[in-house]
Amino acid sequence: MSFSSLGLADPLLRAVNAQGYDTPTPIQLQAIPAVLSGQDVMAAAQTGTGKTAGFTLPLLQRLAGGPKVKANSVRALVLTPTRELAAQVGDSVATYGKYLPLRADVVYGGVKINPQMQRLRGGVDVLVATPGRLLDLYNQNAVTFDQLEILVLDEADRMLDMGFINDIRKILALLPKQRQNLLFSATFSDEIRRLTRGLLHEPVLVEVAARNTTAERVTQSVFEVDKSNKTGLLSHLIRANNWDQVLVFTRTKHGANRLAQKLERDGIKAAAIHGNKSQGARTKALADFKSGKVRVLVATDIAARGIDIDLLPHVVNFELPNVAEDYVHRIGRTGRAGSSGAAISLVSADEVKLLAGIENLIRKQLPRETEPGFEPTHAVPLTRLGRMPTAAKQSAPKPHGRAKPGGRNGKPRNSGTGGKRADGGLQHKRRRPDAKAKAAQPPRA
């Protein structure tokens, strides 16, 4: 089946053809007609399967030929959790909408707000935004929502994981009640499903992959290694296998900085990307990684959803994530758009419970191996689906300078953001409610 059979207009088909695409992916095949029909849509698919085009193409078509946008107004709003993802979605809107007379813009924190305010004065048909910066702009009367027709929550589960639920509720309260709502995500947590009960009206459910499954084209493996030898093993694997492009995940921003510095001292060109980096530094690091100037990009989970690199061959979990679902998002950076990839996890004995949680989530045990010269002194206990193993008797020394996870269920609170919001907004705009205030909050939107 071709894109032309989905009912897309000629200007959009021209843009799609210009990108070399002729056959829609499964998520696009189901989502595009549903969005074109005007219904609310709740869509889940593995990362790298074309979710962005799945809502961008029909969204642009529904806006084409509509009323002229007024000053400071928005006709379609796309909310994303990170700056990188906002930029990525903005690129998609520009690419597919280049033959349509529509205006679009992207706003996020970490950069000056005044230029964004000036660009919004003429109004935009499509605005891609992070929650914090959008509220900042609204509070300064730079944007209004009287003309809003379509709302998209992209990577909605990640926004909730990162603590944006209160911001999302505030934004929803500002929007017209009559609108089309679209939720697109790699996975749908139970919390997301509770949110959708008050947000979506008789939605079309599009789910082209089982919940929390990992991409079939990604080869997954575990290297058992002592924590103290992880950096040495990673450097060895990169050199011995001649890996030219490696995305490495750590749990904290400080750990990302330290690892990048150690790899640099070992003669491997590396850069770190996380919430404490300025937007300019993050953009440059990602550009250098894509161009090959940087061989290894070390990232925290905040960047996991915003890194979209064609044909990325290797993802390494230097540390397993505290939240098992983040493993799915991390390794989803490789094996995209039909290509193959490899996901390698360096696991020490003290991470066995995290490993078991991941294996229970994806419903399979990961193959293990050791590298000669890096055999662990403390073996990683065996895991079994459906059962959580006993922690290893030998406890590894506590890492120095590592931020302690303080969120509910062990989730890090805005990991990697330091004194700023995860999306770059102003910190004073979002205060975490105490227990009494939280209990007094109204029901979910």
Mean pLDDT, the chain, whole residue set: 83
Is pLDDT larger for residue 58 or for residue 287? Answer: 58
**Residue 309: pLDDT above 50?**
yes
Task: State the pLDDT at residue 194.
Answer: 77
The dihedral formed by the CA atoms of 277, 279, 280 and 282, expressed in degrees to the nearest 10: 60
Task: State the pLDDT at residue 233.
Answer: 97
Give the pLDDT mean for 70-90: 93
Three-point CA angle 292, 295, 299, nearest 5°: 110
Distances (CA, A) of 85 to 70, 130, 381, 429: 27, 9, 37, 21
Sequence-distant (6+) residues with CB within 8 A of 261 are none
Rounded Cα distance, 147 and 140, in Å = 18
Q: What beta strand segments (E) does 240-354 contain?
A: 246-249, 270-273, 296-299, 314-317, 341-347
Phi, psi (degrees; rounded to nearest 5) at 183: -115, 120
Assess contact for 414 and 163: CB atoms under 8 A: yes
Task: State the pLDDT at residue 387.
Answer: 63
- 218: how many CB neighbours lie within 10 A of its CB? 20
pLDDT band at 337 (very low <50, low <70, confident <90, very high): low
pLDDT single digits (tens) 397-442: 444 443 333 443 444 444 333 444 545 554 444 434 444 444 444 4
Nearest C-alpha neighbor of 35 from the set 12, 59, 11, 51: 59
Task: State the pLDDT at residue 1.
Answer: 76
**Residue 85: pLDDT above 80?**
yes
Residue whose structure tokens are 């931020």: 403
Highest mean pLDDT: which range of 185-194, 336-345, 370-379, 419-428: 370-379
Assess contact for 359 and 217: CB atoms under 8 A: no
**Residue 317: pLDDT above 70?**
yes
Task: State the pLDDT at residue 420.
Answer: 47
The dihedral formed by the CA atoms of 163, 167, 168 and 172, expressed in degrees to the nearest 10: 160
**Claim: this prediction has a pTM higher than 0.95:** no
Task: State the pLDDT at residue 399.
Answer: 44
**Residue 32: pLDDT above 80?**
yes
Q: Which domains does the chain have, with CATH numbers?
A: 3-207 (3.40.50.300), 218-410 (3.40.50.300)
Least confident range of 79-83, 105-109, 160-164, 423-427: 423-427
Is pLDDT larger for residue 421 or for residue 138? Answer: 138
Burial 423-439 (b: 16+ CB within 10 A, else e): bbbeeebbeeeeeeeee
pLDDT single digits (tens) 91-101: 999 999 999 99
**Residue 189: pLDDT above 80?**
no
**Residue 83: pLDDT above 70?**
yes
Task: State the pLDDT at residue 350.
Answer: 95
Strand pairing category for 296-299 and 180-185: unpaired
